[in-house]
Amino acid sequence: MTTSTPLQPVVQARGLVKRYGRVTALDHADFDLMPGEILAVIGDNGAGKTTLIKALTGAITPDQGEIRLDGKPVRFTSPMQAREAGIETVYQNLALSPALSIADNMFLGREIEKTGVLGSLFRMLDRAQMRKEARAALTRLGLMTIQNIDQPVETLSGGQRQGVAIARAATFGRHVVIMDEPTAALGVKESRRVLDLILDVKKSGLPVVLISHNMPHVFEIADRIHIHRLGRRHAVVRPSDVTMSDAVAIMTGAMEPPAQAA
Amino acid sequence: MSTDQPSSAPRGPQAFEKVLPENEAPVRFEAERESGIKRFQNLLHSHPTAIPGIVLVASLVFFSVMVGGRFLHPFNFSLIVQQVMIIGIVGIAQTLVVLTAGIDLSVGAIMVLSSMVMGRLAVEMGVPTPLAIAAGIGIAALCGFANGVLVTRFRLPPFIVTLGTWNIFFALNLWYSASETIRAQDIEASAPLLIFFGQAVELFGARLTYGSIAMLAMVAIAWYVLNRTAWGRHVHAVGDDIESARLAGIRTDRVLLMVYVVAGVICGIAAWALIGRIGSASPQAGQTANLDSITAVVIGGTSLFGGRGSIVGTLLGALIVGVFRNGLALSGVNVLWQEFAVGVLIIVAVAIDQWLRRTSR
């Protein structure tokens, strides 16, 4: 991807401030996500990256500052509003309901009802349509090793569950997919699958925000790395310009960030 | 791994991942090791009504052998259905609440209060019977709403909330009725609609009351709502993992509040059926419905931890209790052994639920 053409960021935040009592979690933080990129967000525990992501996904409302989505100012007071605006989040706990089927989970909170009287009066679900679309979404991401779309999510492996959550986000996310530690709970093999999935999401044209502590994963798939420190954006680097240990050093303050921002 | 090689960030699989295909054997090993017991467990897990279904059939066979002809007579079966009718209806309300990982100890008290409102308004105050019934159901809905508000707005545990409102509603019931029963003759004379559900049709020697038919119809409706509408899916999701449901965009508080209100309405309908069942409106009737409905839900295989269970299971659970009580009574066994058997059933049912849950995660 070339950055010489002036692209408008998909998500842009300027001067976000969030205080919890006497603790300042966000201290005039900035954020830019460019179209079609994978932007990793790294930072030490307590650096405020979770608060930053929560502000972008509507889980919290910042005290000050502005968030723009495709150039238009937005203000979210609930995760629902962010979702409706096209920002999908894959939470660390995945937000899946274990006892419900894959198809039910894919459409949880935005089920499709039948047309006509069956839908409007009897509120009957269009289960055939939901199954069809869920299967299509999983196939798009090469996840149809999951044979039975009606099997409960609790019968899936950790990686498969992650796959369902990512497929859901990729299906409904019109602007951005945000992923919070998608590989944290996974084994080596399953992490590999999930990283490939994230690259597939990127290929489909959706920009991805990846929050991760796993430096090899970050360096493998990120186009740019947003380093968060002391409640603000400390630096943005490219994985090709710095080493992993440099990135960690910048993150912890042991090293000054390179002069020119990526 | 080396993190200090400058500028060339690793792309594609990392070195340690290239050996992965060779290491797949342990994974396959796990899959092949599935024993017969494990498969049986998974089967039961995916068909939660299988166990109560098997238990019901087994108990029918058992008592047929033990008691013989009298037990097998169609009239006896219709009697069992009549006897479990109230618990069956209240059990629907209880199932809804238990599916959300809550519990409603006040269902019986709501039902009795509601039945006294219906009886007094229709018989003593001269209110047209349909209006009196509507008012009774309205009061029941209000009781459910109170439970729901305390659970969702004040964030109190459902057990505590409904333990409190059980006493409150029952006290209101005694106050409103002045602890007096509205007699059957008075109801028959001035408000026969109140005992509508006590009427019956004869069918092959069985006596099927309208109340029994209403219970079966309500089970069917509840099944439809829980399994074929978005709201029903949300009820399951809220009980399964409330935080996940919230993050998935479900308005969990609204779902919970609605569940308690709907449970109240169902108790109101049960109140109407109760008057039909006993013929009069008594402030002391239906005392055991609070706990009996939980018994039916638990024996029916619905998990007290929420999220999994079924309305058909609750119907089966109520029938199992009915068959045991009826069969033991016909065998001439002392009543105390009926209670003993029900107690054993509850513990076995919960033990099975725990066993199924352990393997599912």
| Average pLDDT of the residues in B91-118 | 97
Is the CB of B6 less than 8 angstroms away from the CB of A100?
no
pLDDT for B231 beyond 90: yes
In single-letter form, the type of residue at position A71 comes to: G
Encode B116-130: b = buried (16+ Cβ within 10 Å), e = exposed: bbbbbbbbeeebebe
Q: Say which CATH number the domain at B348 has.
A: 1.10.3470
Interface contact A219, partner B, CB < 8 A: yes
Q: In terms of Cα–Cα distance, which of A27, A35, A29, A43 is closest to A9?
A: A35
Is the CB of B229 less than 8 angstroms away from the CB of A241?
no
pLDDT for B326 beyond 70: yes
At residue B13 the predicted structure's pLDDT band, cuts being 50, 70 and 90, is low
pLDDT for B37 beyond 90: no
Confirm whether B12 is domain-assigned: no
Q: Give the C-alpha separation, A223 to A58, whole Å.
A: 25
**List of chain B residues whose C-beta atoms are within 8 Å of the C-beta of residue A110:** 249
pLDDT digits (tens, 9 = 90+) for A86-132: 999 998 888 899 989 999 999 998 889 988 888 888 889 999 999 99
ipTM of the complex: 0.83
pLDDT digits (tens, 9 = 90+) for B141-157: 999 999 999 999 999 99
Residues of chain A with CATH 3.40.50.300: 11-97+159-252
C-alpha pair distances (Å), A76 with each of A9, A65, A67, A87, B254: 18, 12, 9, 11, 20
The distance of A82 to chain B (nearest Cα, Å) reads 10
- Interface size A-B, in CB pairs within 8 Å, comes to 110
Q: Which residue has the higher pLDDT, B137 or B69?
A: B137
Q: Give the C-alpha separation, A37 to A33, whole Å.
A: 7
Give the model's pLDDT for residue B213.
94
**List of chain B residues whose C-beta atoms are within 8 Å of the C-beta of residue A124:** 228-229
pLDDT digits (tens, 9 = 90+) for B266-288: 999 999 999 999 999 999 998 88
Confirm whether B48 is domain-assigned: no
Interface mutation target, options B3, B226, B305, chain A, most CBs of A under 10 Å: B3
- Provide the percentage of residues in chain B whose pLDDT is more than 70: 89
Residue range A11-97+159-252 forms a domain whose CATH class is: alpha beta
Q: Which residue has the higher pLDDT, B165 or B51?
A: B165
Tokens of B222: 């509840």
Residue B276 lies in domain: 57-356
**List of chain B residues whose C-beta atoms are within 8 Å of the C-beta of residue A192:** 13, 17, 20
Give the model's pLDDT for residue B151.
97
| Average pLDDT of the residues in B99-119 | 97
Q: Which residue has the higher pLDDT, B349 or A177?
A: A177
Is the CB of B248 less than 8 angstroms away from the CB of A127?
no
pLDDT for B322 beyond 90: yes
Q: In terms of Cα–Cα distance, which of A86, A171, A96 is closest to A137?
A: A171
At residue A259 the predicted structure's pLDDT band, cuts being 50, 70 and 90, is low
pLDDT digits (tens, 9 = 90+) for A58-92: 888 999 999 999 999 999 988 888 888 999 999 88
| Average pLDDT of the residues in B41-64 | 84
Mean pLDDT for chain A?
88
| Average pLDDT of the residues in B303-326 | 93
Secondary structure (3-state) at B200 = strand
Confirm whether B23 is domain-assigned: no
The distance of A53 to chain B (nearest Cα, Å) reads 14
Is the CB of A97 less than 8 angstroms away from the CB of B229?
no
Q: Give the C-alpha separation, B103 to B85, whole Å.
A: 20
pLDDT for A7 beyond 60: yes
Tokens of B160: 């505590």
Interface contact A212, partner B, CB < 8 A: no
Is the CB of A99 less than 8 angstroms away from the CB of B240?
yes
Residue of chain A minimizing CA distance to B239: A97
In single-letter form, the type of residue at position B40 comes to: F
Give the model's pLDDT for residue B24.
45
Give the model's pLDDT for residue B8.
45
| Average pLDDT of the residues in A20-25 | 90
pLDDT for B109 beyond 70: yes
- Provide the percentage of residues in chain A whose pLDDT is more than 90: 48
pLDDT for B179 beyond 70: yes
| Average pLDDT of the residues in A120-149 | 84
Could you count the other beta carbons within 10 Å of the beta carbon of residue B47? 12
Task: Name the residue facing A97 among B17, B20, B236 (closest C-beta).
Answer: B236
pLDDT for A262 beyond 60: no
Is the CB of A192 less than 8 angstroms away from the CB of B245?
no
Is the CB of A154 less than 8 angstroms away from the CB of B360?
yes
At residue B311 the predicted structure's pLDDT band, cuts being 50, 70 and 90, is very high
pLDDT for A238 beyond 90: yes
Q: In terms of Cα–Cα distance, which of B82, B108, B119 is closest to B193?
A: B119
Task: Name the residue facing B244 among A80, A97, A216 (closest C-beta).
Answer: A97
Is the CB of A80 less than 8 angstroms away from the CB of B249?
yes
pLDDT digits (tens, 9 = 90+) for A153-162: 988 888 888 8
Tokens of A248: 């960690």
Confirm whether B236 is domain-assigned: yes
Interface contact A80, partner B, CB < 8 A: yes
Number of domains within chain B: 1
Give the model's pLDDT for residue B17.
59
| Average pLDDT of the residues in A165-183 | 90
At residue B18 the predicted structure's pLDDT band, cuts being 50, 70 and 90, is low
Task: Name the residue facing B236 among A100, A189, A243 (closest C-beta).
Answer: A100
Is the CB of B307 less than 8 angstroms away from the CB of A99?
yes
At residue A142 the predicted structure's pLDDT band, cuts being 50, 70 and 90, is confident
- Provide the percentage of residues in chain B whose pLDDT is more than 90: 66
Mean pLDDT for chain B?
88
Task: Name the residue facing A192 among B17, B224, B234 (closest C-beta).
Answer: B17
**List of chain B residues whose C-beta atoms are within 8 Å of the C-beta of residue A239:** 9
Confirm whether B16 is domain-assigned: no
**List of chain B residues whose C-beta atoms are within 8 Å of the C-beta of residue A95:** 243-245, 247-248
* Angle value at C-alpha A124, between A118 and A127, nearest 5 degrees: 120
